[in-house]
Amino acid sequence: MDLLNTLVDKGLRRELPTRDEALAVLATSDDDVLDVVAAAGKVRRHWFGRRVKLNYLVNLKSGLCPEDCSYCSQRLGSKADILKYTWLKPDQASQAAAAGLAGGAKRVCLVASGRGPTDRDVDRVSDTIKAIKDRHENVEVCACLGLLSDGQAERLREAGADAYNHNLNTSEGTYGDITTTHTYADRVDTVQKAHAAGLSACSGLIAGMGESDEDLVDVVYSLRELDPDSVPVNFLIPFEGTPLAKEWNLTPQRCLRILAMVRFVCPDVEVRIAGGREVHLRTMQPLALNLANSIFLGDYLTSEGQAGKADLDMIADAGFEVEGAGEVTLPEHRVTAGAGCGAHAEAGCGSHEGGGCGSHEGGGVCGSVKVQAEQEQPAEARTDLVAVRRRGAGTDLAPNA
């Protein structure tokens, strides 16, 4: 059985691929990228059909962050020419959310820059959640406020939050090269706090920061162990004025391989294409819908995204459909039992080293898919595609939704 057939079989059983199988997906050649997409697409359709969940970001507080995350335009010392403003009032945030919901989004993600919320900040966000849910009873609300202190996740849950986002971003081994003001363990702790409070955990990664294939596999395997319901895959937007402004390492084909690897390792979770898809996937975005079952609609936190109507047209033209507010995103076994992409060996989700192609200690690759013999060529810098957000939350202009 070749590599891709093995990975499809494992994905349909929620069985963890070996590390070498995951690495082999990233190492496939551009000639084989359509085969990789087709294989991972079978897993995506098995668990999620042809539905695409739409999410909408509301940046509650922009810029002026004391943390030094190298990838972030809002970081300490950033010279990126982004919008900077303090907390939106609950009615302002609710109005911003309404635009995304009118465009078809079923989840609103409330994001604020900073190390983590104070108790007063939690009160602010709680009031915002109430304002949104008073107007839109069935909307899902996800909060993303940084590192959580004890008891804050529970307070957000009581206020009506459905989920909490906190990304791992990169592997534990390289985390210190990206951020020095907090640790990888701090991030893991916050995801665990969200889980313990009964919030749906949302945690993902950023690709394109100069990491190795091994780093990408490490962080995705760590995510599987943490068992989030949602895994956002961000592609670095190299903002001028940030330390990673020169990191143009991604091609559309590379992005597709990364998304396929995430789908194979976490077959039954919501895989979301997040920031950077327009910059790096470009005209290949419709192909990526065969891998991910979720996207952000319209603009991001500090950058402009594709027009909301263009997103909707893309989904329809590619043969997919927007997931309705009344539809449940996750497969039934995750909703009813909480088992799925994580360390649940009893649910068929553990690591089966002896299954399929087995473990290749020497780093060999099983199957007939061709593997690139040379390092990938650097991608072209497309600074023309990096557009700073100048509309929506924090401005007097209508949002893009």
3-state secondary structure 340-384: CCCCCHHHCCCECCCCCCCCCCCCCCCCCCCECCCCCCCCCCCHH
Find residue 142's DSSP bridge partners.
109, 163
Q: Could you tell me the CA-to-CA distances from 38 to 52, 161, 260, 277 in Å, in that order?
A: 17, 36, 9, 19
DSSP 281: T
Find residue 107's DSSP bridge partners.
55, 140
DSSP 160: T
What amino acid positions are annotated as catalytic residues? 65, 69, 72, 109, 142, 202, 272
Tell me the two tokens of residue 224: 């599987």
What is the helix, strand, coil percentage profile of the chain, to 5? 40, 15, 45
Give the DSSP letter string of 104-130.
Answer: T-SEEEEEE-SSS--HHHHHHHHHHHH
Q: What are phi and psi of 259, to 5 degrees?
A: -60, -40
Burial class of residue 193 in the structure, from the number of CB atoms within 10 Å of its CB (0-12 exposed, 13-18 middle, 19+ buried): buried
